[in-house]
């Protein structure tokens, strides 16, 4: 256990690989928490002062320029705290105003999207109005989960020259969704290294996984509200799900990992990560190397972290 989360709906946990350890961050009503762990214990921690956490004032933990950075909204401003090796804030800078979305483009490059501007490489440029809940970068362009209103969402493309373009993957969805992040149940694993966009969407008891240039994969889900995350480990795509093994009331979700050595997830295997009696939500993960992962999720009101090694037949600690 890494700590208490208070209201699970506010936590929005994140996992970041720093090159040596995993950094795990989550929000609460009274602040933001960061823990550094290798999977065996906590080596460092920081409890930051209260900040608004929500759909329009999010907090995102990223690794940029060889250090951890926390992007967050405060009084309509976008602030960035940069941490030293002891998790002390060594620099705070203001980027702009309004709701935002930070996108990890590469190890040392982060883009920040607001509804009307793109901040990239120190330059602010106006863009067509965009309401993005989640986004990915494939080395050429951005792919965004964009809300159309009345519960309808679609993927939109945004070129590096800040102009709209046809999306690399054409998908739309609506209805009840999982609440991972603010992207209406969507999670991106786009990568500059792979050169592909990839997105997983959990909505209306259905999982859709789309990888640029490959057939779309769909499978049924059981829980009415299923949480999804997706990441790429340098060799294969991995999808994390918080779903039920069987219908129950109240729902009790478990954490599972879906992946395939073939890379397209068409015949993905499901590996159980946790089948605890408590309801488990909001899984997130990051890769230290191929088949070496750090996974965090919320169990009841506690944040849990586990380091996993993927083998041919099982996922073990």
Where is pLDDT greater, at 172 or 196? 196
The CATH T-level fold of domain 3-309 is Methylamine Dehydrogenase; Chain H (2.130.10)
Distance CA 290, CA 120 (A): 29
Distance of alpha carbon 46 from alpha carbon 7, whole angstroms: 19
pTM of the full structure: 0.89
Q: Is the pLDDT of residue 75 over 70?
A: yes
Residue 253 has pLDDT above 90, yes or no: yes
Per-residue pLDDT band at 280 (split at 50, 70, 90): very high
For residue 197, is pLDDT > 50? yes
pLDDT band at 186 (very low <50, low <70, confident <90, very high): confident
pLDDT at 181: 45
Pairing of strands 227-232, 269-274: unpaired
- Which positions ≥6 away from 311 have C-beta within 8 Å? 291
Please say if the pLDDT value at position 179 is more than 50.
Answer: no
Query: Is residue 113 over pLDDT 70?
Result: yes
- Whether residue 44 has pLDDT greater than 50: yes
β strands within 65-185, DSSP E? 67-74, 77-83, 89-97, 101-106, 109-113, 117-120, 123-126, 132-137, 141-149, 152-159, 164-165, 172-174
In the predicted model, is pLDDT for residue 83 greater than 70? yes
pLDDT of residue 314 exceeding 50, the answer is: no
The stretch 116-139 carries a mean pLDDT of: 87
User: Which three-class secondary structure state does DSSP give residue 48?
Assistant: strand
Q: What angle do CA 293, 297, 303 make, to 5 degrees?
A: 115
* pLDDT(214) > 50: yes
Query: Which of the four pLDDT bands, split at 50, 70 and 90, describes residue 184?
Result: low
């Amino acid at each position: 256990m890494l700590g208490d989360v208070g209201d699970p709906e506010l936590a929005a946990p994140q996992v970041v690989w720093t090159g040596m350890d995993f950094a795990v961050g989550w929000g609460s009503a009274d602040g933001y928490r960061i823990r550094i762990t290798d999977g065996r214990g906590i080596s460092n921690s920081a409890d930051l002062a209260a900040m608004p956490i929500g759909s329009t004032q999010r907090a995102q933990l990223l690794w940029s320029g060889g250090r951890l950075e926390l992007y967050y909204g405060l009084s309509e401003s976008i602030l960035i705290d940069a941490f030293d090796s002891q998790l002390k804030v060594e620099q705070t800078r203001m980027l702009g105003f309004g709701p935002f979305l930070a996108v990890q483009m590469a190890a040392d490059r982060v883009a920040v999207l607001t509804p009307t501007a793109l901040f990239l490489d120190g330059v602010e440029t106006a863009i067509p109005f965009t309401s993005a809940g989640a986004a990915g970068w494939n080395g050429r362009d951005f792919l965004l989960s964009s809300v159309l209103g009345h519960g309808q969402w679609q993927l939109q493309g945004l070129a590096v020259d800040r102009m709209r373009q046809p999306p690399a993957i054409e998908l739309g969805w609506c209805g009840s969704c999982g609440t991972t992040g603010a992207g209406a149940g969507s999670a991106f694993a786009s990568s500059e290294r792979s050169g592909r966009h990839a997105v997983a969407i959990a909505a209306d008891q259905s999982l859709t996984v789309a990888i640029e240039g490959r057939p779309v994969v769909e499978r049924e889900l059981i829980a009415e509200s299923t949480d999804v995350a997706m990441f790429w480990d340098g060799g294969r795509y991995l999808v994390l799900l918080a779903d039920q093994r069987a219908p129950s009331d109240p729902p009790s979700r478990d954490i599972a990992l879906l992946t395939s050595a073939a890379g397209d997830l068409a015949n993905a295997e499901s590996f159980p990560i946790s089948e605890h009696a408590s309801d488990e939500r909001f899984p997130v993960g990051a890769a230290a190397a191929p088949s070496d992962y750090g996974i965090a999720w919320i169990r009841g009101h506690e944040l849990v972290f586990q380091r996993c090694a993927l083998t041919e037949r099982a996922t073990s600690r």
